[in-house]
Amino acid sequence: MKKIYRKLVIDIASMQVEFEDSYLSTEPVAECKGGSGSTSGATDYPDYMKRVHGYWLDYNATDMFPESVNKCIANAKGTTTNPYATFAAFSPDEAFFSVGKYITSYTSPFEYMKTFSLFDTETKYNSYLTDDSAEITAAVSVFSNSLTDEINTKTLPQFQHGMSDINAVMSSAFVIGEAIIWDSKVKKVAEFEANLRLQHIQTKADIALRRISIALEYNKTVVSLGTELARMYTAARTDVDGDKLDAAVKAKLWDLELWQYGTQVMASIAGAATVSKGVERKNSSLAGALSGALSGAAAGSMIPGVGTALGGAVGLLGGLFG
């Protein structure tokens, strides 16, 4: 039995009933409830929203909704459908050093720098100044024999013929004159040998200095290129290791993140769902380094005295550490 009010007047201040017009009834009555502001605290939505919301959550397929969020979650769960579980990043060692080689297989830039710093120019210089006395002696001997032949076949006969014309062959002047001729030969041979040795020393010194300069420039280039290659490898390795770590983390969180879609569908009827941004890719430090190197090389080639190589190196540093 229910009490039906035709009219009811209540004093708001004292909450006392001032007037009441009612009767008792056993007939069924329909309850009148409000929306979210009703005193019962219940929240209700239109039937079409509840029907679609139920289809989205229902695991069993229907003609209108052949798939549900629960079914999609069930299909996506597991290592076979997890794209991160089978992720395999490329090997920087193979890309930089070929298969079976690693960065430790090669001399590091610091080792090259150590060798460069221990380069003994004086020892190297002295090692290039080889003793070629045998060759010089042979050359002096050839020159001496040539002068001897010239004296015996030309100079002495002319001298003897002149002395014979004046009947001075048996005089002391003849003997002194012949001695002067042979003494001149000795002086020429000594002068030839001295000049040859001096020229030989100067040539050897020039060659030694050029070889030392080339060796120093070579070591400098190897250290510079080795350092840049190490930076690029480090940047690439950092990217790859980061990708591997990201994939490992996402592989572990894959099943948990799938449930977020279910919770979003459940909350969508109340307007509280959020939209997933998907997989975000981080910027590559190697890409930034290469971009900086190319930009720096282009800028360096336009500046006199700087050059493309130096501009590229500066740009590479800016890309790596900027």
Q: What is the pLDDT of residue 317?
A: 47
Same domain, 108 and 221: yes
Same domain, 103 and 203: yes
Residue 272 located in a structural domain: no
Radius of gyration over every alpha carbon of the chain, rounded to an integer in angstroms = 52
* Nearest by Cα to 31 from 6, 51, 4: 4
Residue 222 located in a structural domain: yes
Residue 108 located in a structural domain: yes
pLDDT score of 194 more than 50? yes
Same domain, 239 and 299: no
DSSP annotation of 63: S
| Residues 6 or more apart whose Cβ sits within 8 Å of residue 175 | none
Helix (H, G, I), strand (E, B) or coil at 24: strand
Q: Distance between CA 322 and CA 316 in Å, rounded?
A: 10
pLDDT in tens, 92-140: 888 888 887 888 788 888 888 888 788 888 888 888 887 788 888 999 9
Of 253, 271, 295, the last residue of a domain is 253
Residue 174 located in a structural domain: yes
Of 253, 270, 301, the last residue of a domain is 253
Lookup: tokens for 207: 């060659």
Same domain, 112 and 204: yes
pLDDT in tens, 241-250: 888 888 888 8
Same domain, 249 and 128: yes
Same domain, 117 and 238: yes
Same domain, 209 and 163: yes
Residue 70 located in a structural domain: yes
Instruction: Tell me which residue range forms the domain holding 311.
Output: 283-322
Number of domains in the chain: 3
Residue 269 located in a structural domain: no
In this structure, how many other beta carbons lie within 10 angstroms of the beta carbon of residue 288?
17
Average pLDDT over residues 34-51: 64
Residues 186-197, buried b or exposed e (16+ Cβ, 10 A)?
A: eeebeeebeeee
| Residue bearing the bigger pLDDT, 66 or 81 | 81
pLDDT band at residue 172, thresholds of 50, 70 and 90? confident
Of 205, 236, 253, the last residue of a domain is 253
Q: Distance between CA 189 and CA 141 in Å, rounded?
A: 9
pTM of the model: 0.46
Residue 278 located in a structural domain: no
**Amino acid occupying residue 267:** A
pLDDT score of 36 more than 50? no
Residue 162 located in a structural domain: yes
